């Protein structure tokens, strides 16, 4: 048994934050950001992450032309759920009318979508379910420390979803290799962003990311390279048989270094980090949707995907595409209108960061 990808949908919120916008309130420039990362802009959401997930899911369901009652399982891949209890998958179960589905959230950071696709595919292969909705969505703009230029310029909001369905044909995620790099938890970390907080801290704590850019860079290239080699070896598929490569979109230099190591022609590699920034769990479904819209994924292609994120978690998967690369039906799902610019949306967070750093620099107590 296999699990073909029969529907796909994305949601990029309308407000766009350019590199020049960032330079209006922090010491950075379009030139620095673009030359170091390949990023030109990122989207900032005016709605909760689950709203982006709902729109992407409704589009994926229409694309597959299935009735939502056919869905057995919803996995909400994200490290920025709307709330911890209850899970955010249950929001989508209700919102799309998947009345026969159960759902759970999966958080392995940026790798959450590929991990979720692997879990759902394996459940279909095992025969316990037939149809699943797999989501990768992120609204990290609300938890960004907009006073820190090293990390905040990299990330953006967005979401994507796929519908996968049982088939006897060898289609969908054929196999995957998931791994964790030992002793790297502190390279990207939101310390104590959870329940491990004392009662005294509860009302005064703010989140600031531990972020070791160069260490992440090196481990990302190595981890994804090893995962790709492992899944190719596992499946007996040769590098030369890969038609199109869809890597995690964090930094174009990471993508270029990885492609070079893998001997892939960059023309056969998906790059969309320029338009979205790093949308964490949403990068792969957004990249898949854009590649389909641009006609870069063709019927019967063999795809390789690679992913990495906080943990550090890594992974790679071989996806065999089916005969259809266009939606069966268009969806009319839309986000509610947005009447603010991206700078206006994140304005309160910028102000809070300015006050916090002014306080810290003057020796005052904070955090
Ligand atoms: O999904 C996982 C998410 N994480 C990642 O993908 C991160 C992977 N790492 C990277 O993408 C890169 O390491 C970065 C883009 C984060 C940084 O690029 P880099 O070439 O490694 O730069 P660097 O950290 O060595 O910094 C070079 C300089 C420093 O100044 P000095 O010490 O040379 O004076 C930084 O302070 O650039 C400075 N800098 C900036 N300048 C302007 C750091 N951030 C900025 C900025 N604008 N936004």
Cα–Cα distance between 91 and 103 in angstroms, integer? 9
Let me know if 248 is a catalytic residue: yes
Catalytic residue among 19, 107, 118, 278: 278
**Residue among 150, 212, 253 whose CB has most ligand 1 atoms within 8 A, to mutate:** 150
Q: What CA–CA distance (Å, rounded) separates 232 from 7?
A: 25
For residue 34, which of 25, 26, 42 has the smallest C-alpha distance?
42
Architecture of domain 2-361: 3-Layer(aba) Sandwich (3.40)
155-174 pLDDT per residue, tens: 999 999 999 999 999 999 99
- 32 ligand 1 Cβ < 6 A: yes
Report pLDDT for 205.
66
pLDDT of residue 367: 40
Residue bearing the CA closest to ligand 1, atom 21:
214
Residue 67: Cβ within 10 Å count:
12
Can you say whether the dihedral through the CA atoms of 190, 193, 197, 201 is positive or negative? positive
- Lookup result for tokens 């057995």: 72
For residue 204, the model assigns a pLDDT of 63
Verify whether ligand 1 is closer than 6 Å to residue 251 (CB atom).
yes
Spans in the chain with pLDDT lower than 70: 200-206, 363-367
Give the distance, in angstroms, between the CA of residue 68 and the centroid of all CA atoms in the same chain: 23
Burial of 105 (0-12, 13-18, 19+ CB in 10 A): buried
Nearest Cα residue to atom 39 of ligand 1:
150
Look at strands 313-320 and 172-180 and give their pairing: antiparallel
| pLDDT value for 365 | 46
Question: HSE of 69 in the Cβ direction (CA atoms, 13 Å)?
Answer: 0
């Amino acid at each position: 048994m296999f699990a073909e990808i029969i529907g796909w949908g994305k949601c990029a919120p309308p407000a766009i934050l350019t590199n020049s916008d960032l330079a209006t309130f922090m010491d950075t420039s379009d030139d620095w950001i673009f030359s170091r990362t390949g990023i030109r802009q990122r989207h900032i959401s005016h709605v909760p992450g689950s709203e982006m997930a709902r729109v992407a899911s409704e589009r994926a369901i229409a694309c597959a032309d299935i009735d939502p009652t056919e869905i057995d399982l919803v996995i909400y891949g994200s490290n920025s759920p709307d709330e911890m209890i209850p899970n955010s998958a249950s929001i989508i179960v209700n919102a799309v009318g998947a009345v026969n589905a159960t759902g759970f959230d999966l958080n392995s950071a940026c790798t959450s979508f590929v991990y979720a696709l692997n879990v759902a595919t394996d459940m279909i292969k095992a025969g316990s379910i037939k149809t699943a909705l797999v989501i990768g969505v992120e609204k990290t703009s609300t938890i960004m420390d907009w006073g820190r230029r090293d990390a905040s310029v990299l990330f953006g909001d967005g979401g994507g979803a796929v519908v996968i369905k049982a088939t006897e044909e060898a289609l969908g995620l054929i196999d995957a290799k998931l791994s964790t790099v030992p002793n790297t938890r502190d390279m990207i970390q939101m310390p104590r962003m959870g329940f491990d907080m004392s009662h005294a801290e509860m009302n005064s704590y703010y989140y600031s990311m531990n972020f070791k850019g160069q260490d992440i860079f090196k481990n990302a290239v190595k981890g994804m390279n090893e995962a790709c080699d492992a899944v190719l070896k596992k499946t007996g598929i040769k590098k030369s048989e890969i038609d199109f490569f869809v890597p995690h979109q964090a930094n174009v230099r990471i993508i270029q270094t990885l492609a070079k190591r893998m001997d892939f022609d960059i023309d056969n590699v998906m790059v969309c980090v320029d338009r979205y920034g790093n949308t964490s769990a949403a990068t792969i479904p957004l990249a898949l949707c854009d590649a389909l819209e641009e006609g870069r994924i063709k019927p019967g292609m063999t795809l390789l995907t690679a992913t990495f994120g906080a943990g550090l978690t890594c992974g790679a998967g071989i996806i065999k595409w089916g005969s259809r690369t266009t939606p069966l039906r268009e969806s009319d799902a839309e986000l509610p209108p947005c009447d603010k610019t991206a700078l206006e949306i994140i304005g309160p967070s910028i102000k809070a960061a300015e006050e916090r750093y002014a306080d810290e620099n003057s020796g005052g107590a904070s955090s």
